[in-house]
Structures are given as C-alpha cells and as structure tokens.
Amino acid sequence: MVGAVSSENPLDELTVKQRDVLDLLIEHKTSKEISRLLGISPHTVDQRIMLARAKLGVASRNEIAQAYRRLKGIYEQSVYQESPVANLPARVDELRREDEEAGFQLVTTLGITPGGQPKPDVYFHVLPEIFDGPYGTLMRLGYIAAITIFLILIILGGLAMFAQVSTMFQR
C-alpha cells in the first residue's frame, strides 16, 4: 500500500481534474491521448495519475484503473437491459388471442401449427418449381451444362485476347 485512505468514500478525495484523467484512463487511453483530449501536457496527466494512486493507496497504473472502476461501480452496473425476447412466448400468445378475437386466422408459411408442431403434409420447396417435377433432374443438368459452356467460352475468349495482345507486343 502506498497511501492510506481516510475518507469513507475514496472518490471524495479525488479532485475533479483527477477524475477526468481517470475517466479517460479506464477507457484505455494513453497519457498522450488523455493530454490531447484534455489540453494538458502528458507530464500533468502522469502527475494526476500518480497523486490519485497515492490517494487510493495503489501501486501501479493498472491498479488505479481497476480501483477507480470498482469505486465508480462500473463493474457492478448491469450492462444488459431487460430483454423483450424473454417475454416473447407470452407476447406471441397475447397477439394470437387478439388476432383470433378480431377474426383473423393464423396462417403460417413454414408449415408449423400454432402449437409448434410441424405439419406432416407440407413439402418445403428449396429450389424453384422449374427444377421440381418429373423433368426436374433433367432441367438441373441442363442448367449446369449451360453454365459450364458459358464459363468455357469466357475462358477461351480471354485466352484468345491474351494471344492477340502478346503478338501485338512481339512486333
């Protein structure tokens, strides 16, 4: 321990200027960055940190940052707000009841019943309908062949242009 703290709340012993410096220090700013932001010299920043270390009774820059965070209660504050997702099932049921009272019928596009069970007779289309049916496989193979021919033509065209450009530069 470098110094002893006499006040009940050690934050009361820090000056406003020391608190300004420590606020930036806990944001992982360097002395140079803090000095630019506050318009003071880096030496003054280091001096304020040193005096605050003595007042809080810690030995290093990292310890002063940890002690200041703890004293400000930053770690004790909840980072998360109350999530609306936590109440989502109750909210969905409430909206469903409101819709049923208004005369709307629940229609799901995912093939799931309102109870959450999948409908057994629903077929999920992954591909466009042109690729389904009795000639679906033939259509898929035809598209693959067309894309392959298109890519081969692009490659051959690029090679032909390369050959023309290389003969122009050889002359």
**Does pTM top 0.85 for this prediction?**
no
Share of the chain above pLDDT 90, in %: 36
Buried b or exposed e, range 55-80, using 16+ CB within 10 angstroms: bbebeeeeebbebbeeeeeeeeeeee
Angle in degrees, CA 61, 63, 66, rounded to 5: 115
Residue 134, pLDDT above cutoff 70: yes
**Domain 10-72 CATH (choose: 3.40.50.1260, 1.10.260.40, 1.10.10.10, 3.30.1490.20):** 1.10.10.10
Strand, coil or helix: 112: strand
Domain map of the chain by residue range? 10-72, 129-170
Closest CA to 21 of 3, 39, 9, 7: 39
| Rounded CA separation 157/145 (Å) | 18
| Rounded CA separation 120/112 (Å) | 9
The whole-number average pLDDT for the span 123-131 is 68
Q: How would residue 156 be classed by pLDDT, with cut points 50, 70 and 90?
A: very high
The whole-number average pLDDT for the span 121-128 is 63
Is the CB of residue 83 less than 8 Å from the CB of residue 32?
no
Max Cα–Cα distance, the chain, nearest Å: 91
| Tens-place pLDDT, residues 77-104 | 555 556 555 555 666 677 777 777 776 6
